[in-house]
Every structure is written in C-alpha cells, then in structure tokens.
Structure 1
Amino acid sequence: MNNSQKKNLKTTKDKKKKKYRFKIRRLKKLFTLVVIVTAAVLFVRSSVFIVDNIKVTGNKKYQANEIILRSGLVTGQNVFKMLGEKPKNLLTLKFGDKEKAVSESMPYISSISIRPSLPKSIKIKVTERTPYCILDIKGTSLLIDKQGFALEVITNQNEKKKYIKIIGNSLDSFKLGQELKFKNKDTLSDLMIFCNALIKNDKDTKQKMYPRLTVVNMSDPGVITAVFENRVTVKFGDMDELDYKIGFLRNFFVNNINAKQKGTLDFTTGKYPFFAPAE
C-alpha cells in the first residue's frame, strides 16, 4: 500500500469518526430536549399549579359566582390542564372559549378577559354595560345602553320609572346582548344630541329639566317630541335652537304652570311657543 492509499484510508476513517461523533451529539441533544420537555410537562401538571382561587373584578350587575359558573371554571384543577382543553388557549394563555361562553350568555357584559394568574389563581376581568333608556316595542319594555345593545326586558313598573322611555321607533326583532338595528339609523344619535343639550343647559341652574324627562318620541328623524314628568308634552320640532327652547321650557315649568297641570307646549306652530292645557 503506497502513501497515497494510506492517506485516503486515513481520511475515510476520520470522516466516519466525525459522522459518528455528530450522530452522538445529535442524540445527546435530542435526549436532553426530551428530558427537559418531559420535566416541564410534569412540572406544569404538578400540584404547584392547582387552582385554589378564581377572582372576578369589574362586575356590578352580576354576582361573581354567577360569572364563574357561566365560565365553567372550577377550583381544584390544574390550570394548564384546563388551558390545554383548547390548544389555542394554551398558546395565548387565556381562556378564549370561556370568555365567549360568558359574554354570549350575560347581556350586560361588554368585554371580558379570563387569564391565569400563576401559580394558583385565575383572574376574570369584566366590563359591564350601563343601562340608559327603555325602548318601547309593541308593549315590551326593552332596556338598552347608549350603544344600542339590548340588556333585558323590564316588567317591574318601579324599575321602568328609573329610565327614559323611547317611543315611535320600531325593530324587526331583537336578541339580548346584541346591538339593535333601528329602522331609523339616527335614533340613538338624535337622542344623545337632545339629552346632552338638556344636561348642558341644566349645568348652571337648580331647576333641572333632564331628571324630569320621561318619554321621547323618535318617530320622525331629526324631530323631537318629549314628555316631562309624564304630564307635559313638548313638541320641540327640529334640533335648531335647542338651548333657547330648553331655557323657555324651564322658565315655563317654574313660572307658568303648577305641579299638577297637564298639557302640550308646542314650538312648531309659529314664531312663539304655544301651550294647550289638557282638558
């Protein structure tokens, strides 16, 4: 065997040794990875992460135990095992499916976040909708918020008295927890403009008109007819000169009618408002 052949043989042996060492290193790395993953899985599934507390914040309408019950979450289970029931939950570290279950079944909840608070807690943070007014739909009193979401059907008469009632605008149908589709799309924006004008006009006076507002008729777009104290109907007409009209109304309530008098104050009949007492 000449020198060239010996050299080639040595090179071949060296290559085989390198390949062997490379395979050994890969096997060691793989084994280490398996050990680490196994240890991590055993650790996260251990008693260290058994949930012993579920805390709810931001709730007013609903009791904490109601929200927890709707979420389906319970103490005494491993938090990662509960997350792992839905792979997406495990990746995002939040209970997306539980959030959806709560928000779809509890109309007052506008947003919800359910996240683990490691090692042993789960935090549920909710934002609830604020009731604003009652929409009268063929004798059904539907409580809604300022964004037009349906909250609940009110049957108690004392509860009804707490809210402004909207009449004269209809819906095809409604579902609690969902945004209403008014036939007149400007219903809520017109109502907000009118109510905000009342509140602003009330700011520097003791004789507040907004708390006296009981019914608003929204049958004509951009035209407001309202009832105060369930006894005086006011035809404001369009939104022009609202400050003047509200100021006149306040002065009229204070100086021109008694606490029991009923009738209609009309700003639409001509240059000057006209009051027609009820018979």
Structure 2
Amino acid sequence: MRDLKNGRRELNADSRWSGTNRPARRGNDGAPSRAGIRAENRRRRRRRALLIFYFFLFFTVVSAAVAVSLTVLFKIDTIQVGGTSRYTQEQIIGACGIKKGENLFLAKTRQSEKQIQARLPYIGSVKVRRKFPARISIQVAEAQVCGAVESSGKYVVLGDDFRVLEMADKLPQSCVLIRGITLKSPKEGKTAEFADKSLQSSLTEVERALKSNGLKNITGVDFSSTSKILLTYEGRVTINLGMPSDLDYKISFAKKLFDDGEIKSTEKGTLNLSTAGDNDTAYFDPASGS
C-alpha cells in the first residue's frame, strides 16, 4: 500500500518473502499456521516422490545392464585345457558340461569340476575357472595310483585318495597289488569304502611313510596279518614291518640298507624290521640260491 502524502510505502509480509524462502505463516501465538504446515507437507511429498523415482530409474538401468550382459555379452568362445592327463582335451571338454556360446557368468564351474572327476577318474585334481572376457580355463593333474585291490574277480585300482580309478580285468602294469583288504561295493569314480577302517588307516600310514622317505619300487603290500605288515621290494625282497608302528623309522632303515648295498641288487630274501623300532636292528634272510 502506498502513502501518497509523504512518499513512503508499506511492505507486507507476502511481498518480502516468496516461494521456498517464505516461512510458514504463524498465528498470534507464534505457532505455524495451517497453510504453512500444508505447504511443508507438499514439499516433503515431492521430495519423497523424487527419491522413489530415482531409485526405480537406477534399478531399471542396472537390471537392463545385467540382462544385456547375460544375453548378449560374455558368451564363452574358448574352452582351454592345461596340465597333464591320459585323457584328450576333447574328452575333458566333453566331460565338463560347459558349452561354447553359454554365458560366462552362468557357467557352473564347481559342478563342472565334479563332473570331470566322476567321468574321468584318472584325473586327480581339476580347477575350472572363468577368464574374462569369454574364456573357460580347465587345469588338470593326473591321479597318483596307490595300488590295486582284488575284488569279485576285478582289480580295483585306487588313487592315493582312495578314489576308485578303474575296475580292471587284470592287474595293470607297474601297479602295486594290495592284499588283505576288502572293499564294499566299489564303484568307478567314487571313494572306496573299506570293510575294516583300521586297515584303511594302516594303508594310509604306509603310503605316507613310503613317500616321505622316498622308498620306491614297491610291487606289493600285504595286510593279511595286522601284526605283520609285508612289503615286496622289486619283486625279490619281502620286507616285514611287523606292527603298524614306527613306520617312518622302519622304512627309512630299509631304504638305507638298499642304497648302501647292504642287500645286493641280485639278492632275494626276507628283510625283518619288525623289532627295529625297539633294538635298531634288522635281519636279512637270503632265499636259497640267492
């Protein structure tokens, strides 16, 4: 309102404040007016609506990106095989269950590893890995053979983890024959179940001691008597280990005797180490005519 007499003009509250800068109107007691409260509530609703809109926009963009990557991008174009194995690359790729053209992210690598070992038992270890942008890498290693156990007219070839590698009609060449052990319904590709768990432990300890001490050329193992474990060395010397105790010492003792020529490479007979853990003494009985 203008005061025409003295040239002054009066400014009311609405002309000084506008838009979002306008404070909520207050009543005579200083509290916000109803109109101010309604304006503030409208602003809050607008902000909430904007947040929801931006969230759904972000979600839509991300979903579209994922959909594109799973349907168009990262399609497998190469499957590579590395390592040593008696199987061909074609056999390993065929057993893995992963095909070219599949999406790299959807490839079931853990399941593929299990399939390869189940279908190709002589593979001891296998790693299946995704390699960006579009490659599958399969790394394999040959299974280490522990020996063979005769069962129901077959020779059950065991790996060093006691997985059944093969059910052979005859003993494979250079395979250690393990006697005195019974297996329950062995199946190729599956871990063998021992009828006597204590013999499984004894076999494990003998294998460990042979490897750690480097005694090779063992052609037979016999657990027919639990108090008289027998090894056959080069098909010519029977090693009597006695009880399954002090195996590391007994086997290292035997290796030293062979390495030092105490038992000649032409000799046959029996090397008794059953009491070596107690008296540090071994006894060798040559076979007649040796």
Is TM-score (shorter-chain normalized) higher than 0.5? yes
Question: How far apart, CA to CA, are the structure 2 residues paired with 1:269 and 1:102?
Answer: 43
- Once the two structures are TM-superposed, the CA of residue 114 in structure 1 deviates from its matched residue by 3.0
Secondary structure of the equivalent of 1:79?
coil
Structure with the greater alpha carbon radius of gyration: 2
Indicate if the aligned counterparts of 1:148 and 1:188 stay in contact, CA closer than 8 A.
no
Identity %: 20
Q: Is 1:174 matched up with 2:186? A: yes
2:47 to 18, 22, 31: 22
* 2:214 aligned partner: 199
Normalized per residue, which structure has more helix?
1
* 1:33 aligned partner: 58
Indicate if the aligned counterparts of 2:85 and 2:141 stay in contact, CA closer than 8 A.
no
Question: How far apart, CA to CA, are the structure 2 residues paired with 1:127 and 1:111?
Answer: 5
- Once the two structures are TM-superposed, the CA of residue 40 in structure 1 deviates from its matched residue by 0.8
Q: Is 1:130 matched up with 2:149? A: no
Structure 2 CA distance for partners of 1:44 and 1:242, relative to 1, 3 Å: closer
- Once the two structures are TM-superposed, the CA of residue 52 in structure 1 deviates from its matched residue by 0.8
Matches within 5 A, 1:58-137: 58-80=83-105, 82-83=106-107, 95-137=109-151
* 1:87 aligned partner: none
* 1:206 aligned partner: none
Structure 2 CA distance for partners of 1:27 and 1:64, relative to 1, 3 Å: same
Structure 2 CA distance for partners of 1:79 and 1:165, relative to 1, 3 Å: same
Indicate if the aligned counterparts of 2:178 and 2:222 stay in contact, CA closer than 8 A.
yes
Question: How far apart, CA to CA, are the structure 2 residues paired with 1:248 and 1:113?
Answer: 41
Deviation sequence 1:98-151 (CA, Å, 0-9, x none): 333333333234444433322211223344422232223354222222232221
Secondary structure of the equivalent of 1:186?
helix
Structure 2 CA distance for partners of 1:65 and 1:246, relative to 1, 3 Å: closer
Indicate if the aligned counterparts of 1:236 and 1:245 stay in contact, CA closer than 8 A.
no
Indicate if the aligned counterparts of 1:197 and 1:242 stay in contact, CA closer than 8 A.
no
Any stretches of 5+ residues in structure 1 without a counterpart? 84-93, 201-209, 258-262
Question: How far apart, CA to CA, are the structure 1 residues paired with 2:219 and 2:183?
Answer: 21
Q: TM-score, normalised by structure 1?
A: 0.70
Any stretches of 5+ residues in structure 2 without a counterpart? 1-24, 276-281
Question: How far apart, CA to CA, are the structure 2 residues paired with 1:27 and 1:226?
Answer: 77
Question: How far apart, CA to CA, are the structure 1 residues paired with 2:87 and 2:241?
Answer: 40
Q: Which has the higher contact order (CA 8 A, sep 6+)?
A: 1
* 2:11 aligned partner: none
Q: Report the residue type matching 1:186 in the other structure.
A: S
